[in-house]
Amino acid sequence: MKILVATEKAFAPVAIKLIREVTDAAGHELVLLENYKNVSELLAVAADADAMIVRSDLVTAEVLDAAKKLKIVVRAGAGYDNLDLAACTAHNVVAMNTPGQNSNAVAELAFEMMLFQARSGFSGKSGSELRGKTIGIHAFGNVGKYVADIAKGFGMKVYAFDPFVSAEEIAKNGVTPCATVEELYTASQYISLHMPANDKTKKSIGYDLLKKMPENAVLVNTARKEVINEEALLKIYEERKDFAYLSDVEPDCKAIFEEKYKGKFIFTAKKMGAQTEEANINSGVAAARQIADYFATGSEKFKVNK
């Protein structure tokens, strides 16, 4: 079978080497399309692929139409909002993700941004410490749990809220559960977002929640830019001089931030959360193994479409 790695943001070379070991051992051919700039490149190479490994690359109906032989696509990572699941099902393509494999990298990035901001961007100006501060983890999945562990190491007071995780489960992780999302935002100087982007969560972080955050509030977004209501965020920035937004990717309203709030935000130019060798290896190799298993045994573990 022909397995295509199609990544607009390439894996580390060591991850490709290890992915190749898996596909070679299973007797499949590995084809690489890395750092591509146009969908047309993907459409051309996808034409004879039996399987595809992608990252945040968009797998649309157009891509699936072009990939006539495709049987399985694995998103090497957690969030699969880039896969058109209905179109995958309509094209008889199994869609999977690799949950948990890049979570630590994302959690570490949240702290890297928090530390950079707390120390005034390493500018020489005096800053502040994380010890003793409060952090609220909004959505307590794989990344949220790593964030909790790191926060405890820093001596922070850790709260969490997740509509799908029980208070008992949160407490078992040594974290104080909040009964409502409002309670979480009221309690936490730092808020770290870890929910997926879907119809329920898009634009869900709005004015009423953000205005509840205590003094020197810091909103850390290593989830998806789409979960933020950007108009509300700008309104908060207008009203509060003490608010900071740290985001793994630039918001759509980046130009306004650059014009009005220089030095009061951090935006990565390209999504960096999962961009470590370790995360690339873990998620890339997991994806390759899932594909090899699917062809060998029909295993549909981690399938996300119906």
**Residue ranges that bind ligand 3PG, judged by CB under 6 A:** 9, 55-56, 77-79, 102, 271, 273-275
In angstroms, the first-to-last Cα distance of the chain is: 24
Q: Whole-number minimum distance, CB 268 to ligand 3PG, in Å?
A: 11
Q: Please, are residues 117 and 141 in contact by the beta-carbon 8 Å criterion?
A: no
In angstroms and rounded to an integer, the radius of gyration of the C-alpha atoms of the chain is: 20
Give 79 or 251: the residue with its C-beta nearer to ligand 3PG: 79
Q: Whole-number minimum distance, CB 123 to ligand 3PG, in Å?
A: 28
Give 81 or 293: the residue with its C-beta nearer to ligand 3PG: 81
Q: Whole-number minimum distance, CB 188 to ligand 3PG, in Å?
A: 22
Nearest of 227, 255, 232 to residue 243 by alpha carbon = 232
Q: Whole-number minimum distance, CB 56 to ligand 3PG, in Å?
A: 3
Which token pair is 147?
Answer: 């964030």
Give 136 or 141: the residue with its C-beta nearer to ligand 3PG: 141
Q: Whole-number minimum distance, CB 57 to ligand 3PG, in Å?
A: 8
Q: Please, are residues 48 and 1 in contact by the beta-carbon 8 Å criterion?
A: no
Q: Residue 115 carries which side chain, given as an amino acid letter?
A: L
Q: Residue 60 carries which side chain, given as an amino acid letter?
A: T
Angstrom distances, CA of residue 164 to CA of 14, 132, 159, 236: 36, 28, 15, 28
Give 53 or 178: the residue with its C-beta nearer to ligand 3PG: 53
Report DSSP state, residue 56: S
Give 133 or 224: the residue with its C-beta nearer to ligand 3PG: 224
Q: Whole-number minimum distance, CB 15 to ligand 3PG, in Å?
A: 11
Measured from each CB, the residue nearest to ligand 3PG is 77
Give 156 or 285: the residue with its C-beta nearer to ligand 3PG: 285
Q: Please, are residues 192 and 136 in contact by the beta-carbon 8 Å criterion?
A: yes
What is the distance between the alpha carbons of residues 233 and 229, in angstroms, rounded to a whole number? Answer: 6
